[in-house]
Amino acid sequence: MNQVSTTLLVIGGGPGGYVAAIRAGQLGIKTVLVEAATPGGTCLNIGCIPSKALIHAAEEFDKAKHYADGSALGIMAGAPAIDVGRTVQWKDGIVKRLTSGVGALLKKNDVQVINGFARILDGKTVEVKGGDGELLRVRCEHLLLASGSEPSELPFMPFGGMVVSSTEALSPADVPRRLVVVGAGYIGLELGTAYRKLGAEVTVVEAAERILPAYDAELTKPVGAALKRLGVELRLGSSVLGLNADGDGVRVKDANGQETVLAADRVLVAVGRRPRSAGFGLESLQLDMNGRAVKIDDQCRTSMRNVWAIGDLTGEPMLAHRAMAQGEMVAEIISGKRRHFTPNAIAAVCYTDPEVVVVGLSPLDAEKAGLDVISANFPFAANGRAMTIESTDGFVRVVARRDNHLILGWQAVGRGVSELSTAFGQSIELGATLEDIAGTIHAHPTLGEAVQEAALRALGHALHI
């Protein structure tokens, strides 16, 4: 059996793993990256990037339909059509360009990429099985686990046939006439909205009493209103029992115990993701765990010396940008730098229509923490830029301490608010106060003016409301 020795061995080429490998290479650390598929992981290949591409295509198609019979803008167009095959090709082209770029960066920084399936033998030895069945043993000083996560499936309705995960939903051969989405979290609503705009009849089934149950209710109201306008049917407070006997419908039980069958040509199960901690010998290390997630400290160290873990494998929040920051940090610690992973806030974005952004504490979070806070929001209905892009639903909200006005959190819902997340995160990381934001001149006309106006309103003197 061939053997390779390295300083750092990274298992998993997703955002966390490839960033760690690139940074390690920049720092002169001999690095090997093992990835079974194409570098880029779930995010670039079957997650963040392709889903946003599909969402954009669906939005443009829906916009064209909106103009088919004329509009207040004076635009008139004929009835549009969409070639889903070409849409998928376009989406795949974006993915290929990005993953090729990652591969080029790894090569540029002298990272050795091994394509194959890793199996951990011990904390310093990993066996890799290539596509041709050939085995390679890799010895390392440091082992970084970055295996990511995988879609959770329902035991009584496993993936296969008409039951799909987000992976299959992002590469459709066609648009189903009737789609049932199980789960009203961000994945279910993002893809459910896209499919509705592409022409499918969409029904969303959710066990909780409202959509996006991880977000506060005020933020989700504009999303619910938009779903209603689109014609998406919501079955809230309902549980899925499985497929019916004929295999052409989903059995659903409501809060009163009444069972009905929802006709379906395809079923998207989007009930969350779980750490990918099985199937590659992780159990042999006997690491401390939090359920299926690997337990780490604020340097991403596991309970075994020189074994590190980052990203979705370590549990919530399962965000690509968190994994990237952790991967960069681990590489720098191995190189001898002093680093700790202690962010004040990490933005979470839901790419529904309208979008939802959460950074830091909400008013309810602050209340639970026993903090005395001021919170204020500014509606996009009073924002000139929002009016010019026909998107006045939603608002920006700020949360700050009452005593010193230190900003603790931001929330926003509206078209394009994902682009405000950077400003939100920076204000919290830099320790900004309400006065800092209120006193910063914001360009006009922009959606960002709502950020300044929310701070002004918290101080008691908003100008445009």
Residues assigned a catalytic role: 444
84-88, long-range: CB within 8 Å, 24+ apart, which pairs?
84/172, 84/173, 84/174, 84/175, 84/198, 85/173, 87/54, 87/57, 88/171, 88/172
Nearest-angstrom CA–CA distance, 464 and 332: 47
Contact 266, 176 (CB under 8 A): yes
**Of 37, 35, 41, the residue nearest 10 (C-alpha):** 35
Nearest-angstrom CA–CA distance, 102 and 91: 17
120: tokens are: 């951990």
Looking at the DSSP bridge assignments, the partners of residue 429 are none
Burial 372-408 (b: 16+ CB within 10 A, else e): ebbbbbbbbebbebbeeeebbbbbbbbbbbeeebebb
Query: In a 3-state reduction of DSSP, which class is residue 12?
Result: coil
Contact 35, 12 (CB under 8 A): yes
Instruction: Match 């101080």 to its residue by tokens.
Output: 459
Q: Greatest CA span in the chain, whole angstroms?
A: 73
Nearest-angstrom CA–CA distance, 398 and 363: 9
Instruction: Match 């005593």 to its residue by tokens.
Output: 403
181 alpha-carbon distance from chain centroid: 18
SS3 helix, strand, coil % of the chain, rounded to 5?
35, 25, 40
Kindly report the length of the chain.
465
